[in-house]
Structure 1
Amino acid sequence: SALNLQLMSLTLFDVFGAALGVFVVLTVCKFVEEELSNINMPEMKGKEGRFQYTITDVKITELNLTHADLQFIPEVGLLFDVQNSSITLSFHRRILYWFFYDTGNINASAEGVNINTILNLIRDDDGRLKINNITCDARIDKMKAQFSGTLGRVYDFLASFLTSGMRFLLNQRICPALNHAALVHVNSMLETIPVRTEVDQYIGIDYSLIDDPVVTSRSLDMNFRGMFFDLSHQNDTLVNYAVDPVIREYDRMVYLALSEFFFDSGMFSYFTAGIFQMDIVNEKMPKDLEMLLRTTYFGAIMMLNPALVEAPLSLQLAVNSPPKTSIKTSGATVVMTAIVKVMVLPPGQPPVQLSSMTMVYTHIHTSFFYFFRILLDFFDSNIFKIFSNQSALESLALIPLQAPLKTMLQMSVVPLINNWTKRGVQIPLADGMDFIEEVVEYHNGFIVIGANLHFSKGLREMISVMPPPHMAVYVEPTEALPYDSDITD
């Protein structure tokens, strides 16, 4: 089936390799920092010798993820690796020592923070990209604390005990926080990306993934359906004979490959929706063209019947087959054929057909794109032929009409068609993401567009504006009291 073939490919290359790749890593780091900053730490109570203590209001005040990397792990997923980083915390203490009661703040720092997270990506039932599983390993090598207040120095010996408990809790809470961020928040953002949407009132487009993403050592490859459809006949689709796109470029962060079928399915959908037909009559008929029709070959035919001389003229245009796209290294060519009927409309009488012509319009285009929106704009100028469906002799008589009919189509018919096709189709991206620095390359059978990613919003901001997904439940893990004789610093 054509629906199971590769129609559109999206490849994310070597994210950490380029300057903008560093920006992506920084964006991910900022998101991780925001998630970890929201970790809720439980109240700590305990007794150590003559000391009774209560620790509350634990807050992560600063994260310094100095050594972070984003990598592709073949056949596994995306690896986000943080090494030898640090976390700064503050918490409030209440301590009873014999008859002395003391309160104050504790500033602590965690050093040697190592977080290793692997995201496994799949295609969900609707064809969306989804994080299926997350493997996380977090470790904090050591912590130290500094007391303030009247008896601050007296309590220094408690620092090792308290920081050991705090390190124990943090080690247990980092991965659940990141799991929640990925499986709930990021998946919620991915759910906002449309996989099947309306382009206009006539056609829609299917962006759904046709299989699970493939992760190689340098890329994340995703094959999309990339097919247009007529909204009124959604099961009426075109058979795909186009070659599968192949992406070999690596200079940009994202590469989008579009086969001939992508464009052909758009033209096919508009054709089945009945867009490519119109009737040019009365005020829609250019006066210069009407004068030309009356004073050339068709005027001679009308003179044979004086009752038709003053009757209005009409041009009925109907594309008789879906336009066909051909993509070569030199550019893209779109061929359209249509039947043009020249009619006379005598008042109170049935229309009289003067001629039936076949129009062949070929447009060679070197750019389909404007601000990275896919434009199905294929009418400008170039090759135009018209010949009679009735006789070779009439085809010769129509030669003087080639140029004026072409001009008429460019001035009246083409704008009507481009009113729909020039709207373009937005590339499916989450709100806050966009492509910049685009480059287009033509290959035999497909087009490859390279671009870099730009984030106009942080991931947390992108997620915060979205409603939570249905059935997304996060249960806060319960922790035992951190006081444990087996805990060592």
Structure 2
Amino acid sequence: MLAGIAMTRTLSEDQKINLDYSLSENVTVTSNSLDVPFTGVVYYGDRRPALPAAGVEPVFTESNLMAYVGISEDLFKSAGQALYSHGPFELTVPEVNYLTNSLLKKLGLPKGPVKVQLTGVPVIKINKEGISVNVKAIAQSKTKSPPPPLPVECQFGMKVNLNGRHLILQSLSPKCKANPGTILGKVLVGIANPILRWIPSIITSWFQIGIQIPLPTGLDFTQTQIDYHTGYLVIGGGLNLNG
């Protein structure tokens, strides 16, 4: 079943983010469906780390559709670890308008390059409501006389979609806050929110092309349904043979 399927791929050449994934258990064949459990590790650089200690394995409870793919939250947790291991990212505060940029400058984010560094590994969980992410970082302008680092925290959910055999992630309504430590700074945080939201966009950008789920070449999912559980999610659907 897995013959010819590339289980290692590059998610972002610029950021040197790679993915290596595999089945976490054997494929199970029921009377009218396939159960495919898999997990993986997203990592930074050339050295592939060991797979994380097994968390909650996907449990398959239905068989009314042709195929079910279970994905452990370990895959998403390793993406958070890769983001942290990467080190600082460089973003750019754009020219918006005079008033907005003046206020952003008071907050410590003048237009121009900004270094964003995570202060801990993002907390990523799958529960019955979906995928939740919490990211903490510091942002600091790279101007000649940079202001003090600005602590930032973003919380957001992620939605899983399936395009054929490719898993796609999208971030949902990120809520970011900063703690500049001054009354003026707290007033200006709302204006900086669009800038701060670039942080969660880094994670989802790695998955824009999509992760190919382990199915034979030519088989695509159709009419999919996605169920979220504590520690894993299950994608069910029909199978369509192309060509």
Q: Compared with structure 1, are the counterparts of its residues 266 and 321 closer, same or farther at alpha carbon in structure 2 (3 Å cutoff)?
A: same
Q: In the alignment, what sits opposite 1:387?
A: 179
Q: Distance in 2 between matches of 1:409 and 1:194?
A: 35
1:52-71 equivalent positions in 2, closer than 5 A: none
The Cα shift of 1:333 comes to 0.9
The Cα shift of 1:337 comes to 1.1
Does the residue aligned with 2:151 lie in a helix, a strand or coil? strand
With structure 2 as the length reference, what TM-score do the two structures score? 0.80
Q: Distance in 2 between matches of 1:374 and 1:312?
A: 35
Q: Compared with structure 1, are the counterparts of its residues 319 and 285 closer, same or farther at alpha carbon in structure 2 (3 Å cutoff)?
A: farther
- The answer as to whether partners of 1:375 and 1:422 remain within 8 angstroms in 2 is yes
Q: In the alignment, what sits opposite 1:259?
A: 72
- The answer as to whether partners of 2:17 and 2:42 remain within 8 angstroms in 1 is yes
- The answer as to whether partners of 2:118 and 2:136 remain within 8 angstroms in 1 is yes
The Cα shift of 1:386 comes to 1.2
Question: For the pair shown, which has the larger CA radius of gyration, 1 or 2?
Answer: 1
Q: Distance in 2 between matches of 1:401 and 1:338?
A: 18
Q: Distance in 2 between matches of 1:376 and 1:266?
A: 12
Q: Distance in 1 between matches of 2:208 and 2:188?
A: 28
Q: Indicate yes or no: 2:83 matched with 1:293.
A: no
Q: In the alignment, what sits opposite 2:168?
A: 375
Does the residue aligned with 2:148 lie in a helix, a strand or coil? strand
The Cα shift of 1:278 comes to 1.2
Q: Distance in 2 between matches of 1:435 and 1:298?
A: 47
Q: Indicate yes or no: 2:226 matched with 1:440.
A: yes
The Cα shift of 1:445 comes to 1.8
Q: Distance in 2 between matches of 1:312 and 1:215?
A: 57
Equivalenced residues, count: 239
1:225-374 equivalent positions in 2, closer than 5 A: 225-235=39-49, 237=50, 239-240=52-53, 242-274=55-87, 277-280=89-92, 284-288=94-98, 289-294=100-105, 296=106, 314-342=113-141, 345=143, 351-365=144-158, 367-371=159-163, 373-374=166-167
Q: Compared with structure 1, are the counterparts of its residues 286 and 271 closer, same or farther at alpha carbon in structure 2 (3 Å cutoff)?
A: farther
Q: Compared with structure 1, are the counterparts of its residues 241 and 291 closer, same or farther at alpha carbon in structure 2 (3 Å cutoff)?
A: farther
Structure with more strand by fraction: 2
- The answer as to whether partners of 2:35 and 2:67 remain within 8 angstroms in 1 is no
Q: Compared with structure 1, are the counterparts of its residues 314 and 230 closer, same or farther at alpha carbon in structure 2 (3 Å cutoff)?
A: closer
Q: Distance in 2 between matches of 1:407 and 1:448?
A: 32
RCO higher in structure (CA 8 A, sep ≥6): 2
Q: Compared with structure 1, are the counterparts of its residues 249 and 199 closer, same or farther at alpha carbon in structure 2 (3 Å cutoff)?
A: same
Q: Distance in 2 between matches of 1:328 and 1:403?
A: 29
Is there any run of 5+ residues in structure 2 with no aligned partner, and where? Answer: none
- The answer as to whether partners of 2:37 and 2:71 remain within 8 angstroms in 1 is no
The Cα shift of 1:414 comes to 5.8
The Cα shift of 1:244 comes to 1.8
* 1:39-77 deviation line (CA, Å, top 9, x unaligned): xxxxxxxxxxxxxxxxxxxxxxxxxxxxxxxxxxxxxxx
Does the residue aligned with 2:169 lie in a helix, a strand or coil? coil
Does the residue aligned with 1:290 lie in a helix, a strand or coil? helix
Aligned amino acid, residue 206 of structure 2: W
Aligned amino acid, residue 149 of structure 2: S
Q: Distance in 1 between matches of 2:104 and 2:24?
A: 53
Q: Compared with structure 1, are the counterparts of its residues 375 and 240 closer, same or farther at alpha carbon in structure 2 (3 Å cutoff)?
A: farther
Structure with more helix by fraction: 1
- The answer as to whether partners of 1:328 and 1:445 remain within 8 angstroms in 2 is yes
